[in-house]
Amino acid sequence: MLSPSFDPKIQYKRILLKLSGEALMGGRSYGIDLPTIERMSQEIKDAHDMGVEICIVVGGGNIFRGLKGAAEGIERSTSDHMGMLATVMNSLALQSSLEYLGLEVRVMSAIPMHSICEPYIRRRAVHHMEKGRIVICAAGTGNPYFTTDSAAALRASELHCHALLKATKVDGVYSADPIKDKDAKFYEKLGYMDVLTQDLQVMDAAAISLARESKIPIIVFSILNHDALIDVVRGRGKFTVVS
Ligand code: UDP
């Protein structure tokens, strides 16, 4: 059912937005930058006000990465559990900021923690979105040895999202790092297999493979650009589509 405010210019009615932990850091070198989260929350609200159903997967790399902890001697699964807890902290910060703007939000964690948020239940998540609530999927897939990119592809698949929006600090996918290489080629469109065979740094291979199997387009765009999210859901502006 379309929400009453549904804007006919919208290309994707239900989106999964993947925000990396890094995106929440703003200019800091660690942790959460509240002004950055507030700015993103406003963009999310603007897209929501257009009638887009939104679920969000938040990373945790701004606080803790499992691989780094493991390299320093923490048992890998334990270290990944710590990484997943970091995503819950980010999710709660984002929830608070979105609620401040008057939105209804539910954090749903893949690792049950009843006194803090809801457990992730697929049918409930769909119900929340249909009711106009924003769903934040926390704790990744709930399993070690995975990433929040894989969690994003997984949730986008099972929640039947029309697109997976990967927010980054660059405005799409290039053949090389555009900051270091002036001749780096910008790709407007790519196939899933192009990303895998050319090892382009879009998302990890497990995430790309799952998105390919589920036929969900991945849209890589810069979260730093003003109104970027609205532009993407309307199919305008600069971004790369992997499909
Ligand atoms: N993680 C995990 N399983 C998952 C998702 C995440 O074990 O399904 C852990 C992993 O240790 C990872 C950390 O959580 O390093 C933070 O997630 P990620 O690195 O994907 O965050 P991002 O790079 O998006 O900030």
Structural contact between residues 220 and 172, judged by C-beta atoms closer than 8 angstroms: yes
- Per-residue confidence (pLDDT) for residue 1, from 0 to 100: 46
Q: Report how far residue 142's alpha carbon sits from residue 112's, in angstroms, rounded to the nearest whole number.
A: 9
Residue 77 falls inside a structural domain: yes
- Per-residue confidence (pLDDT) for residue 5, from 0 to 100: 63
Task: Return the exposure string of 38-58: e unless at least 16 CB atoms fall within 10 Å of the residue's CB, then b.
Answer: ebbbebbbebbebbbbbbbbb
**In the chain, how many domains are there?**
1
- pLDDT digits 0-9 by tens, 156-167: 999 999 999 999
Range of the domain at 70: 14-242
Residue 100 falls inside a structural domain: yes
Residue 2 falls inside a structural domain: no
- Per-residue confidence (pLDDT) for residue 178, from 0 to 100: 86
Residue 22 falls inside a structural domain: yes
Residue 81 falls inside a structural domain: yes
Q: Which residues of the chain have pLDDT under 50?
A: 1-2
Task: Give me the CATH number covering residue 52.
Answer: 3.40.1160.10
Q: Which atom of ligand 1 is nearest to the CA of 58?
A: 24
| Cβ–ligand 1 contact at 83 (below 6 Å) | yes
- Per-residue confidence (pLDDT) for residue 201, from 0 to 100: 85
Q: Which atom of ligand 1 is nearest to the CA of 65?
A: 15
Residue 155 falls inside a structural domain: yes
Q: Report how far residue 34's alpha carbon sits from residue 65's, in angstroms, rounded to the nearest whole number.
A: 21
- pLDDT digits 0-9 by tens, 218-236: 999 998 888 999 999 999 9
- Per-residue confidence (pLDDT) for residue 8, from 0 to 100: 73
- Per-residue confidence (pLDDT) for residue 3, from 0 to 100: 52
Q: Report pTM.
A: 0.96
Residue 152 falls inside a structural domain: yes
Q: Report how far residue 44's alpha carbon sits from residue 135's, in angstroms, rounded to the nearest whole number.
A: 12
Which of 29, 65, 150 is the pocket-test mutation for ligand 1 (most atoms within 8 Å of CB)?
65
Residue 9 falls inside a structural domain: no
